[in-house]
Structure 1
């Protein structure tokens, strides 16, 4: 078997503190014969010295472009704009297969360099279930922020914390009014995380999943104070919220957290906003009267970087140890090749080829 060389890159997004591999699991990889190079990163929640102690090599930030050709570049969020041509195999969340903004441009970069995207969202088992995901913590943070906003206790800018500290401010306090919360996608990872957070906040949520959304009861949805959307749609479905719903005079709904953040995609089930929010300005007011606030942060788990990284790393490491065996990684590659072909066809049609 060809030796695997993983290169853990620095995340260029300033609010990204997570890592796909924590130092303890990096030690598992190096102990199994995998070469691991880790870029120094001032924001990663684990210092590079812990990786070095686990047997990893250390490199300068954003030096992966000069790595040997057979190196596998590992990260989480978007790549920097340069180099344009991507020559390596890259593992990260590409958000490139559902017509998201910038998707075609990213795929063109891989075409230009002959590289490959192994998208972590499509690292799935034989039944299509994701093998490594941040969903639980995304749902947990999304519901927690929604409750804090609704209760007037959300402060900006947001800063990373630990679960114990978050739960302290999340617990109900004297004077907190009862609130009705709805979780859509309640049976998935994100939905489960949202339910756990709501219960920590003293709220027993209404839980909807496929059965309840096939024939959506819109008045019932609008009769809740807080909505947490944890649905990851794979095929187009009727939207859960429409512009005219926001102007419904009987709307009780005041706070929406879109954990999924499929903004710009034809699969978006909340097409009532056109850009995500962020740590600096986590809340966007969609309506003044009656008030309706939106939270749509696309890297929620980074607010609990240690907990979310440890869970993700524990799931991803066994897959990396089996990197050369095909299976899930082979499915990732096939999904990438399909996307490349589809993009080429669409661009050819637009040119009239």
Structure 2
């Protein structure tokens, strides 16, 4: 049986500063019998020379669409926007299973091209624990942005009694909004700062519907939210790719955390860790195409 090729695609900053396969884990994968192709990148924390030194094959950036069909395309986050069908097996965090904006277009590209999405965000071990939690290493940064962390899990009205809310919630099902424009009218509101790591502003399940666009750590770190006259101000810092502020820690955490799962990609059809996310994809496609058939 010929060796399986993993093709690490280059990504633009800020996501592209992180690397999901480090030279260390690439060396282990090569020892496991894989071919590892790495697209050249001038923003990735792990330098091209480091991958080349352990035996990876360097290829041009954005060459993955023309890679042989048996190559597995792997990356950190969603692919660049486009409309051409996706024909490979892809392993990355696509952010399209919680009805984020454009989720249906993303999945239909896989369906039309005969490809497959194996979403890294949802792979779990035998105990049901995620292999990796994106952003774990930046919790101190998120807390520093807000100065203080407050967790409220049941009675959301209590949030307004705190000065600061740090939001790190990742939902698998909808919940009532934590803060709304209506709740901002509450007399005596103390809440003046909201910070967090989130890319859910375009999701219908956004827990904080008072904002619809993420802030940016470089260009626009904070945004002032309109509040009723006579109430205290409210500032929000919701940076979706906060782990990119610590590219070394984020890269090493991702590479080491995901190695056990990535090492099984060569025979993913025989491993539950990947079969579970394949089923998620198949179920979502079935629901999507079924709805389209009904509409037609």
TM-score by length of 2: 0.91
User: Which position in structure 2 is the counterpart of 1:118?
Assistant: 118
Contact 1:246-1:287 within 8 A present in 2 as well: no
- Work out whether 1:267 is the aligned partner of 2:235: no
Give deviations 1:258-315, integer Å, cap 9, x for gaps. 3233223232221211111123112111136522111111111011000011011111
Give deviations 1:179-218, integer Å, cap 9, x for gaps. x530x3xxxxxxxxxxxxxxxxxxxxxxx4xxx41xx151
Per the TM alignment, residue 15 of structure 1 is displaced from its structure 2 partner at its CA by 5.3
Paired with 2:106 and 2:216, the residues of 1 have a C-alpha distance of 22
Change (3 A) 1:181 1:319: closer
Structure 1 segments unaligned to the other structure (5+ residues): 148-179, 185-207
Structure 2 segments unaligned to the other structure (5+ residues): none
Give the match's secondary structure for 2:94. Answer: coil
* Counterpart pick for 1:322 among 253, 257, 264: 264
User: Which position in structure 1 is the counterpart of 2:102?
Assistant: 102
Contact 2:77-2:94 within 8 A present in 1 as well: yes
* Counterpart pick for 2:284 among 316, 339, 348: 339
Identify which range, 87-96 or 287-296, moves more after superposition.
Answer: 287-296
How many positions carry a matched residue from both structures?
Answer: 289
Counterparts of 1:132-143 in structure 2 under 5 Å?
Answer: 132-143=132-143
Per the TM alignment, residue 83 of structure 1 is displaced from its structure 2 partner at its CA by 6.2
Paired with 2:149 and 2:28, the residues of 1 have a C-alpha distance of 41
Cα-Cα RMSD: 1.8
Contact 1:233-1:268 within 8 A present in 2 as well: no
User: Which position in structure 1 is the counterpart of 2:185?
Assistant: 247
User: Which position in structure 2 is the counterpart of 1:49?
Assistant: 49
Contact 2:12-2:43 within 8 A present in 1 as well: no
Counterparts of 1:84-103 in structure 2 under 5 Å?
Answer: 84-103=84-103
Give deviations 1:84-107, integer Å, cap 9, x for gaps. 110101111111111110100101
User: Which position in structure 1 is the counterpart of 2:216?
Assistant: 278
Per the TM alignment, residue 127 of structure 1 is displaced from its structure 2 partner at its CA by 4.3
TM-score by length of 1: 0.77
Paired with 2:184 and 2:245, the residues of 1 have a C-alpha distance of 29
